[in-house]
């Protein structure tokens, strides 16, 4: 099973709202990732968790707050977002190590109004 699930599929939120994106995998992967993808652009890495610890933060603004409650779950908490944060947010997982491929979820399409 190479499935990564993400909820919700679509999210519309105002600039003062607080919301969360959720990601789950049951492949036994211990590395999990958040990416942001704008239209007609490649994905941009935001965060990497390795063994449930944050290992990479690509200088992401603090209005994005990641959380990894356990080895299967990854959350992205959103607060006081800007309209330019509207994008497709992709979660991925992989085995730990640089050689392993990442498996992506279907993404959450976020619109900030």
Partner 1 sequence: AQKVTQAQTEISVVEKEDVTLDCVYETRDTTYYLFWYKQPPSGELVFLIRRNSFDEQNEISGRYSWNFQKSTSSFNFTITASQVVDSAVYFCALRPGTASKLTFGTGTRLQVTL
Which residues of the shown chain bind partner 1 in the complex (CB under 8 A)?
A: 2, 40-43, 45, 48, 50, 55-56, 58, 88, 90, 92, 98-107, 109
Q: Which of residues 27 and 80 has its CB atom nearest to partner 1 in the complex? A: 27
What pairing do the DSSP bridges indicate for beta strands 73-79 and 18-25?
Answer: antiparallel
Please enumerate in sequence order all residues whose Cβ is within 8 A of that of 30, keeping only pairs 6 or more positions apart, or say none. Answer: 50, 51, 52, 71, 95, 96
Closest approach of Cβ 22 to partner 1, in Å?
Answer: 16
Query: In the structure, how many helices (H) and strands (E) does the chain have?
Result: 0, 11
Q: Which of residues 15 and 96 has its CB atom nearest to partner 1 in the complex? A: 96
Cis geometry, peptide bond prior to residue 2 (ω within 30 degrees of 0)? no
Q: Which of residues 4 and 78 has its CB atom nearest to partner 1 in the complex? A: 4
CA torsion angle 65 106 49 84 (round to 10):
-30
Closest approach of Cβ 58 to partner 1, in Å?
Answer: 8
Q: Which of residues 80 and 88 has its CB atom nearest to partner 1 in the complex? A: 88
Closest approach of Cβ 90 to partner 1, in Å?
Answer: 7
């Amino acid at each position: 099973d190479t499935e990564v699930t993400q909820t919700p599929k679509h999210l519309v939120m105002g600039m003062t709202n607080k919301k969360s994106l959720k990601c789950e995998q049951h492949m036994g992967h211990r590395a999990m990732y958040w990416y942001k993808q704008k239209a007609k652009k490649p994905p941009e890495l935001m965060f990497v968790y390795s063994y449930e610890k944050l290992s990479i933060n690509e200088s992401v603004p603090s209005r994005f707050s990641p959380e990894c409650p356990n080895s299967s779950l990854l959350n992205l908490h959103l607060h006081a977002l800007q309209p330019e944060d509207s994008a497709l947010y992709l979660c991925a997982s992989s085995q730990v190590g640089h050689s392993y491929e990442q498996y992506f979820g279907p993404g959450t399409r976020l619109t900030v109004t």
